[in-house]
């Protein structure tokens, strides 16, 4: 089956520092989604990347999809306490169809020291 590794598992930073989480797949992906889950909350969709080498930005968040479409990263510039939460990647091989199911990486828990 599809092997996906998300690293690091945990990351603690001082407010103002940058943060990056990586999602690495053993197989080529059709697309990848990223979600954020605040403590005690539910996963919330952030973005989807589809094209090889794609880079998308949302304010201080930068999302990248590797050229080979096997890797992706989420980078946060100058973290704030509101960035605290678990960030999940949800890679998709692109089988599509009626048996489509979205699987999630194990997530990276980000904590920010004010």
- Closest distance to another protein from the beta carbon of 43 (Å): 5
Q: Give Cβ neighbours of residue 41 (< 8 Å, ≥ 6 apart).
A: 85
Residues at the contact surface with another protein, assessed by CB under 8 A: 30-31, 33, 35, 37, 41-45, 48, 50, 86, 88, 90, 92, 94-104, 106-107, 109
Helices marked H in 26-101 — which ranges?
Answer: none
* Residue among 45 and 81 whose Cβ is closer to another protein: 45
* Residue among 82 and 98 whose Cβ is closer to another protein: 98
How far, CA to CA in Å, does 83 sit from each of 15, 24, 36, 57, 69?
Answer: 10, 22, 9, 15, 26
DSSP designation for 96:
-
> How far from the centroid of its chain's Cα atoms is residue 16's Cα?
20
* Residue among 47 and 77 whose Cβ is closer to another protein: 47
* Residue among 84 and 109 whose Cβ is closer to another protein: 109
- Closest distance to another protein from the beta carbon of 78 (Å): 25
């Amino acid at each position: 089956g599809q092997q996906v590794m998300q690293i690091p598992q945990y990351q603690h930073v001082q407010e103002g520092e940058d943060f990056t989480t990586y999602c690495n797949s053993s197989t080529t992906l059709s697309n990848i989604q990223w979600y954020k889950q605040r403590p005690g909350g539910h996963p919330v969709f952030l973005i989807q990347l589809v094209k090889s080498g794609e880079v998308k930005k949302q304010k201080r968040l930068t999302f990248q999809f590797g050229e080979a479409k096997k890797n992706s990263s989420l980078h946060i510039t100058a973290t704030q306490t509101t960035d605290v939460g678990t960030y999940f990647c949800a890679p998709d091989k692109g089988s599509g169809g009626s048996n489509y199911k979205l699987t999630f990486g194990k997530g990276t828990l980000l904590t920010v020291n004010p």
